[in-house]
Amino acid sequence: MKNTLIQAQPENQRKDISLKEIIISLVKAMQADYGHSFKSVFHEDEALRDFKNRMLEKLKGFSNEQIISGYGKAAELSPKFPPSVIEILAQVILIQKEDRRKEKNRLEAERVGYLPKPKITCNPIEMLREAILKIEADEAGLTKAEKWTKHLERLKDHEFLIYEHEQKFKTVPADHICEASFCGNPGSISHSTSGGGNYYCQEHYRRAG
């Protein structure tokens, strides 16, 4: 929606820019994004200077990418007037939390990659063969029409089983599936108290803590 001037710089160059330079670029972007409303908010040089100093104070410790993305999110939520320092800071903190969650998941994925593959405890070919023998024994002595009726009953039961399975996962949002590797069960518990955290099922919640 907005044409942020900071984004024109390559990512690898933005990492080497100091916080002060980022704030200056951010203010220039804000001037371009908001035009007249920017001038109405910062009609005095002192107000703009206080805004910059407050940004320098509050945004220490965050990466340049987090600050830039945080401003972008705050701008989306405030399309008419420039976002305040507190509004920008709130979005930057949320992005930092999400970055930490993604990094934690990346490290977990690497750890799992070194674990031995799960053992396959069933033989699907053998299970299929046993199912065929069971059906043949169940249909012994039946007429062709009776066999067809049995077939339709089994097919109906099978389709209902698939339907129940699909409905189970439709009720669980994609970001609420248990985050534990190889699980996939609905995750109903999260360590986060403010949102944005991983969800776990009852079995994996304590291990994740």
Query: pLDDT by residue (tens digit) across 131-142?
Result: 899 988 988 889
Q: What is the pTM of this model?
A: 0.54
Using CA atoms, how far apart are residues 110 and 116, in angstroms rounded to an integer? 13
What whole-number distance in Å separates Cα of residue 85 and Cα of residue 100? 22
Does residue 8 have a pLDDT over 60? Answer: no
Q: Please check whether residue 167 is in contact with residue 186, taking contact to mean a CB–CB distance below 8 angstroms.
A: no
Q: Which two tokens stand for residue 51?
A: 């805004």
| Identity of the amino acid at 84 | S
195 vs 96, more confident: 96
Instruction: Check residues 178 and 83 and name the one with the higher pLDDT.
Output: 83
Average pLDDT, the chain: 82
pLDDT in tens, 81-122: 999 999 999 999 999 999 998 898 888 778 777 767 767 788
